[in-house]
Amino acid sequence: MSGDVAGTAPSADLVALLDTDPHGCAVAAAIRDQDGVITDFRLDYLNEAGGRFLGRPREELIGRRYRELWPDTVTDGTLPFYRQVVQERVPAVRTVYYDRASVAGHFEFRVVPFGDGFIARFVDLSKLTMGAQTEGGVRLYEALDAAFDGFALLRAVRDDAGAIVDFTIEYVNQVGAKLAGRTVEQLVGQRVGERPSGTTELSLLTHYREVAASGEPWRRQLTSPATGQVWDLKVARVDLDVVAVSYRDVTEQVGQQKQLVDTAAQVRAAATRTAALQAVTAALVAASTPDEVYAAMGTVVRPSAGGNSLAVLLTEQDRLTLSYHHGYEDHVVEALRDLPLSHPYPATGVSITGEPRYLCSPEEFAAAQPDPRTAISGGSRAAWAFLPLSTGGQVLGALVIGYPRPQEFDDEERENLIAFSRLAAQALQRALLFQAQMSIAADLQRALLPAVLPTLRGARHAVRYLPWTHGADIGGDWYDVIQLGPDTAAVVIGDVAGHSPQAAAAMGQLRNAIRAYAADGHSPAGVMHRVNHLLLQFETHAMATCCYLELHLAEGTATAVLAGHPPPVLRAGGPARSLDLRTGPPLGVRGAHYPDTTFLLPTGCNLVLYTDGLVEDRRYPLDQGLTDLCSALDSAPTDDPEDLVDHLLSASVGPRPRRDDVAILALTVDAEPAPGPRTARRRFRGDAATVSAARHFAADILAAWDQHPLREDASLLLGEVITNAVQHTAGDVEVRMTLGRRLRIDVHDSSNRRPVKRPVDGYSDTGRGLHIIERLAHAWGSAPLPGTGKTVWFELDPAQGRP
């Protein structure tokens, strides 16, 4: 809200008096708020001189407020100064200097109260020339003497045409006179051009004229040839024909500044060297292979060293071979490709002695190879640094940096170059060792994973292995497909803990052991049990997970064993799901038991086996990874295993980025079931685990066939028959299940001894098996097999249940 304006307009006589004043005069009225507090002032009058001093026409200023006209001076105490004069009704004087956008100048303000406002008279001191004889002049010159080492006022002397031809010295202080080698009395009134010792003044006369004519100040630093003192000279116009010349002795400041500049240059040089070393170190540390080290040398080491070309020559027996070059001409490259260490080229001596050599000119380079017939051309280079690539007491060869111009190598530069060469040697040695280890690791990886997998009748498969580790580290993930018979096969995937050659070696042993036990006819549970025993015997600290599946493609079934491994994922006519399988501990656990699970493999189904790196890490839970995998399998547009694997690996499955190796095996079942009743058969070794394994097999198959009411009786009766076979025969036992109108289970063994039902009573410990079979089965019997052996069978009726 605007404040109230109260004040008294100046009378005509007062205005006439103020109009004639050569200095600036102004009348302002107070602006008050509702509480009567002065918040601002309004400019009611300004004479012509005031407008000139302020550099703006009066019409632009009169009637406007102080805060609006000079906003950047509101906070410097000026408004409170005016307010005090009005409120206390006491005149006051104030001197200020402004160099701002809205006002500039050196002003003296005399302010008197006038009505509800004030009258101000202001003098622009920067445009005032006063005689030294006046009281004000004395004070002014005393101030000038204190402000400058030397000071003088010069008045222009013009010819008849009005051109400035010289200057008269109207004032000079004591220091200024002493600088001129004269007294003040001798100089005041004298012309600049008439001084007999005024060589310097005569050279400055032109600048004085330019300042007087243009009004633009001129400033320069001058050094006295006699004393070496440095003076800061400034010339400025203070009136139309008057210029002021000020001198300051800045010798000490200039010396300090030079010292600072020199120190800053040294600091910058040190910082540059440090930055170059850091850049070289970072580039070489990041390099893993020799090619990466050479690239770092060419792109970082060479420019950091200031050269325009670089060559790396490595020692091989009694020769130097060129391993890398940058910026060299073709004919020089050809000459450097293969050098005997006896050649006079300076790099050979450096490679032998391990001592650097610096050649500062083409003449020195030529002198190093005195025989022109064998000398190697220096090309376009004019200076060379031959540096040993030495680390750990071994000299790998020489690093040669060429320069386009002759140059001396000072101590600091030589230290830098040696530091560069040592860093390069360390990086190159690491890279060469890494390359050798990587080659060994790659050979080991290729040897451990199967090169060719068998083609299965009734199923297609595809595999991928994605290593995450690098160099000598090699993962323990593996996969395998083992042909067991015309329509049977085993598919395996596993992961040995750790990433090392030791882990890879353990993986190779496990893979071979699984192949051997599977080929020997052991059941899936038997294979895992024996592999675990072997691992505990020979790799006591190793641990691994494994998923082993025995596929019976003609009958559409599979039996799986999990040793601490994530379950396979199956897509069979509905949403993909992870299989609910019995799980044993990882391999490498003493006393471990590995139960198996049998399930159906319908025609056209997709089965995916994988290692945990695909679906989990310490920050990504397994449940989420399995959900990702099932979703990706559901969205796969094809059942072709190759395309299926590519789709799963490109989908958003599991943690990203990956932090572990990944092995994946995809299987598509094409086999059609044989016509007629459903059948399923398994062969078991005649050992203690057979009874439990056979019972699990029967229960799983009946559940898969949706014959849950028969599971209890079938498992009980099968257990009795199997127990009898294991106790009285040697060798394998085969179980065959057939589901037609009735469920028939046949047990084949190698013994010709027929089962005989013996009488039992309440005290009998054995012999009850056949009585139980006769009581629960709808029918049972035995028959000899062709050649040798027999079969014992029984039937259950799904419709009638127990008789």
Dihedral sign (CA 696, 697, 699, 701) = positive
User: How many CB atoms are located within 10 Å of the residue 744 CB?
Assistant: 20
Residues 6+ apart with CB under 8 A from 118: 27, 28, 41, 82, 85, 86, 111, 112
- What is the C-alpha to C-alpha distance for residues 557 and 107, in angstroms, rounded to an integer? 107
By three-state DSSP, how is residue 111 classified? strand
- What is the C-alpha to C-alpha distance for residues 301 and 296, in angstroms, rounded to an integer? 7
Instruction: From residue 120, give the alpha-carbon distance in Å to each of 113, 210, 483, 684.
Output: 9, 35, 113, 121
Dihedral sign (CA 740, 745, 751, 754) = negative
Residue 181 one-letter amino acid: G
Antiparallel, parallel or unpaired: β 475-483 and 488-499: antiparallel
- DSSP conformational letter for 5: E
Query: What pLDDT digit, counting tens, does each position of 106-143 carry?
Result: 567 888 888 899 999 887 655 554 444 444 444 555 55
**Residue ranges in the chain modelled with pLDDT below 70:** 1-8, 73, 76, 95-107, 124-149, 185, 195-202, 263-280, 283, 286, 300-302, 304, 437-447, 469-475, 758-768, 800-803
Q: Are 117 and 8 in contact, with CB atoms under 8 Å apart? A: yes
Query: What pLDDT digit, counting tens, does each position of 728-774 carry?
Result: 777 888 999 999 999 999 999 888 888 777 666 555 555 667 778 88
Strand partners, 110: 93, 121
Full strand arrangement of the beta sheet holding 218-223: 164-172, 150-158, 242-249, 230-239, 218-223
- What is the C-alpha to C-alpha distance for residues 569 and 498, in angstroms, rounded to an integer? 25
- What is the DSSP secondary-structure string of 736-773? EEEESSSEEEEEEES--PPP------TT-SS--HHHHH
**Angle, CA 218 vertex, CA 212 and CA 219 arms, to 5°:** 150
Which stretches of 604-689 are DSSP H helices?
622-634, 641-650
The encoded tokens of residue 720 equal: 């009795």
- What is the C-alpha to C-alpha distance for residues 560 and 523, in angstroms, rounded to an integer? 10
pTM score, whole prediction: 0.53
- What is the C-alpha to C-alpha distance for residues 675 and 686, in angstroms, rounded to an integer? 31
In 47-201, beta strands by DSSP E: 92-99, 104-113, 117-124, 150-158, 164-172
- DSSP conformational letter for 65: B
- What is the C-alpha to C-alpha distance for residues 704 and 707, in angstroms, rounded to an integer? 8
The encoded tokens of residue 192 equal: 């600049």
The encoded tokens of residue 261 equal: 């500049």
Instruction: From residue 117, give the alpha-carbon distance in Å to each of 29, 261, 370.
Output: 4, 56, 99
Residue 33's φ and ψ, nearest 5 degrees, are -90, -170
Q: Are 282 and 301 in contact, with CB atoms under 8 Å apart? A: no
Please tell me the predicted confidence (pLDDT) of residue 383. 93
Residue 146 CA to its chain's centroid (Å): 61
By three-state DSSP, how is residue 592 classified? coil
Residue 10's φ and ψ, nearest 5 degrees, are -65, 145
